[in-house]
Structure 1
């Protein structure tokens, strides 16, 4: 059944705390003002996308959401009726490598005082490495893709640690618990903006990608009119001087039209690494 005129706009984000909650608060504040309807934001930090038995889109508790691309594709591929569909708007985060594409990269970071030892990815052979989660595109999949391209596998590293989040992986590098880690480029940027005193301590060895930005998703049976109004509003957001300024403060350069084709980037990487895993020592 499709909602004709929902009275409130209910949103959920699964991307906090790796990404600042202010990003999603700003989107919802803008939509509330533009659509002239109250909005609410839930943030769920335990998962990067809805678990099958707690799908807020299926229960009608969420109309719009922000999640990682891996979880979004899983919902579409594994659930007969996932009750989600792509909102065809992509968030473009500031990054000189991105240009005006709704993509991001995985920054392989190390401590700057190891610059004499590590000059390229191959130099990490036999060293300790951290990643966030096994289903993380930027933490695990892109690393497996790079290892396969270099005709090797996870045995390339002496030890592999699953930290639990990109922020925890950064801390492991800073504390010298590992030699390097794979970090979502957007997470690293926000971390350094908030903690500029660490900027000289960390160096990006290489950046892998590109990968598709996190999808904005709709509850499938949200009214067609509401979906159209939300898309039009989001695409117009960077053109509004007041809200463009707010976006710049959040290091967001644009919101642009996207299609499911963008997420084929991830499918190509996942197809390339079928059967491969990182084998961590849990930390």
Structure 2
């Protein structure tokens, strides 16, 4: 009888101990998601540097993760499987609308807090947007700002009717498909050149395809939107948030942090922001006849 009681008590004691683990402890780290815009291995490798930095600066344990797609980040914030995320603007709007998530930081790239979408092609016969009528086209993800929503608006405004549209999942996958001729054109993010060298999504595949800048050209660029936000789930502890915000701001102060942040999302730093900074993005959604949740239907 005593043996049976002992067997029953041990699991109860274990559950009681794990329930008492505080968020940010070694056994219950803060879950930090990185939106999967490029190769997951690159995100995880550089995310580890950010993970270590936050722990050193705040004493809080953080675990980086790369969800399978853009919407998985949104849903994980809603279910509290993710506490903090660096995500794309439209993904943030969905997380804010559905689950009350809040943006507190915005990415900065060499003083700029905006970026664009772009349409790329390798086909010499495609010289203007109208030439895309009836063509096979690759977008990134239904909730990708630069890889779907912005170029979709551009194509709609130009009255372009694509022949076939597919979702490749990541920006580097779109570039690869265009380079290999598997699609006629595609949509990715665009950032400003640096010292005359292009810094848009084509750079993600430069090692695999050294001539990508020569072979794949930019057909058109979209309007700009605010940079990617750092988003916290609803009811995340305020004191912890403040510590993480300050740690993120100081991350690029070291050579390792500067390099990691650039590799992650081609950013040079972060600045404070609020939800109001993304009102312009909401208007774009209205302009293309959608609301935020329509993106995932």
TM over 0.5: yes
**Taking CA–CA contacts closer than 8 Å with sequence separation of 6 or more, which of the two structures ends up with the larger relative contact order?**
1
Residue 89 of structure 2: aligned partner: 69
TM-align CA RMSD: 3.0
Distance 1:44 1:89, change over 3 A: same
**Secondary structure of 2:57 counterpart:** helix
Residue 216 of structure 1: aligned partner: 230
CA displacement at 1:40 relative to structure 2: 1.2
Q: Which runs of 5+ in 1 are unaligned?
A: 94-98, 277-283
Residue 84 of structure 1: aligned partner: 101
Matched, 1:101 2:109: no
Alignment match of 2:132 (pick from 124, 134, 142): 124
Asked if 1 retains the 8 angstrom alpha-carbon contact of 2:176 and 2:205, the reply is no
Matched, 1:197 2:210: yes
Which residues in structure 2 correspond to 1:49-64 (within 5 Å)?
A: 49-50=72-73, 52=75, 55-56=76-77, 58-59=79-80, 61-64=81-84
Q: Please say which structure displays the higher CA radius of gyration.
A: 2
Q: State the TM-score, normalized to the length of structure 2.
A: 0.73
Cα distance in 2, alignment partners of residues 245 and 129 from structure 1: 33
**Secondary structure of 1:140 counterpart:** helix
Cα distance in 1, alignment partners of residues 287 and 138 from structure 2: 21
Distance 1:270 1:215, change over 3 A: same
Structure that is richer in helix per residue? 2
Alignment match of 1:258 (pick from 254, 268, 273): 273
Cα distance in 2, alignment partners of residues 221 and 41 from structure 1: 20
Q: Which runs of 5+ in 2 are unaligned?
A: 1-20, 192-199, 292-297
Runs (4+) of structure 1 exceeding 6 A deviation are none
**Secondary structure of 1:197 counterpart:** coil
Asked if 2 retains the 8 angstrom alpha-carbon contact of 1:15 and 1:66, the reply is no
CA deviation digits over 1:107-143, x for unaligned, max 9?
Answer: 21111xx34x333334434433221233332222212
Asked if 1 retains the 8 angstrom alpha-carbon contact of 2:35 and 2:67, the reply is yes
Distance 1:23 1:206, change over 3 A: farther
